[in-house]
Homo-oligomer: A and B are copies of this chain.
Amino acid sequence: MASKETLIVDCDTGIDDALALLYLLRDPDVDICAVTTVFGNIDADTAASNTLRVLELAGRADVPVAIGARRSWTGNAHFAPYVHGDDGLGNTDLPAPTAAPTSEPAAELIARRARENPGVLHLLAVGPLTNLATALQLDPELPELIKHVTIMGGAVRHPGNATPAAEANISNDPEAARMVLAAGWPVTLVPLDATMTERITQDHQRRLREFGTPITAFAAKILDQYFGFYEQNVFGDRSAACHDPLAAAIAVGDVIPALAPVVSVDVDTGDGPGRGATVADVRGQYRDFPAQDGAHVRVVLETGGNFADLLADRLCDAPAPSRRVA
């Protein structure tokens, strides 16, 4: 059976990045050909180490991991230990990885693999977009070589989370995000409008804990840190948004968005209160979003609201990966 998608996952692992990776790794029909890391939730080196830990937990030490950008296009790097824990994975002490990252930097890996497999690769970016912007600089023809780009990031009719206007992935590198969204490839943007409506709860956590495999026990454990942040700062109860896992599920076709118009999207790269905002033209919302000349970004505004059930199902019930076992 042909795989659903051949992915390079670009991430800043991170609690929800880990859940997204596990979600994808539990599907034998998804081919993750590499993971690249970027600063964001945590520094890029720790993100690579965390990614290797998660891959080994899932029995997939064979997937290459490449370290990418350690700071943004303008030289900044901001991490979020208050969200993801000091180690980026809820301080859960997974064993140190046995494998090491590749020596090839992330952007070079992306550009090389795209050139070797024209029209095949799907880039799933769930961190700041610095690696993708760098890859575009390395190979201006990259947009023609990539099948699709799915991005977790931005906020359209929903408030930001890093600032009142900006979502964290975009806020961490607005200049890179602007380049990536302006490039001529087909993009699906999964902003907070969708991810904040897909909430994983204590019921899901209990189910994961009780199922009791190493993967589900780990997933339940990292949610403790995540729920703590969300309870105090966002939702007021012990639940959390499924940011990166939702983008992963949309990328591989498991979740079909309920509302996802193709509209023009720009990023605010100024120094004002809107810096990092994704300015999407959704003025057509009352008229079923008439076509916009030149628009090539599909913006997911609504999904069904029960994705966390699917996430828990996948971690608990899906067969172990069958194609490649380390």
Give the B-binding residues of A (Cβ under 8 A): 157-161, 164-165, 234-236, 264, 266-274, 277, 279-283, 285-287
- With a 10 A CB-CB cut-off, give which of A236, A268, A279, A287 has the most chain B CB atoms: A279
Once bound together, how far apart are the Cα atoms of A268 and B164, in whole Å?
12
- The smallest C-beta distance from A164 to any residue of chain B, in angstroms, reads 4
- The smallest C-beta distance from A281 to any residue of chain B, in angstroms, reads 4
Q: Is the CB of B274 within 8 A of A164?
A: no
Q: Is the CB of B279 within 8 A of A234?
A: no
Give the oligomeric copy count: 2
Q: Is the CB of B273 within 8 A of A164?
A: no
Q: Is the CB of B273 within 8 A of A236?
A: no
- In the complex, residue of chain B having the shortest beta-carbon distance to the beta carbon of A274: B274
Once bound together, how far apart are the Cα atoms of A165 and B155, in whole Å?
12
- In the complex, residue of chain B having the shortest beta-carbon distance to the beta carbon of A235: B286
Given contacts A266-B273, A270-B268, contact A283 B160 (CB under 8 A): yes
Given contacts A157-B157, A277-B277, contact A269 B266 (CB under 8 A): no
Given contacts A234-B287, A236-B287, A287-B235, contact A159 B282 (CB under 8 A): yes
Once bound together, how far apart are the Cα atoms of A281 and B160, in whole Å?
9
Q: Is the CB of B164 within 8 A of A281?
A: yes
**For A280, what are the chain B residues with a Cβ–Cβ distance below 8 Å?**
164
Q: Is the CB of B273 within 8 A of A272?
A: no
- In the complex, residue of chain B having the shortest beta-carbon distance to the beta carbon of A236: B287
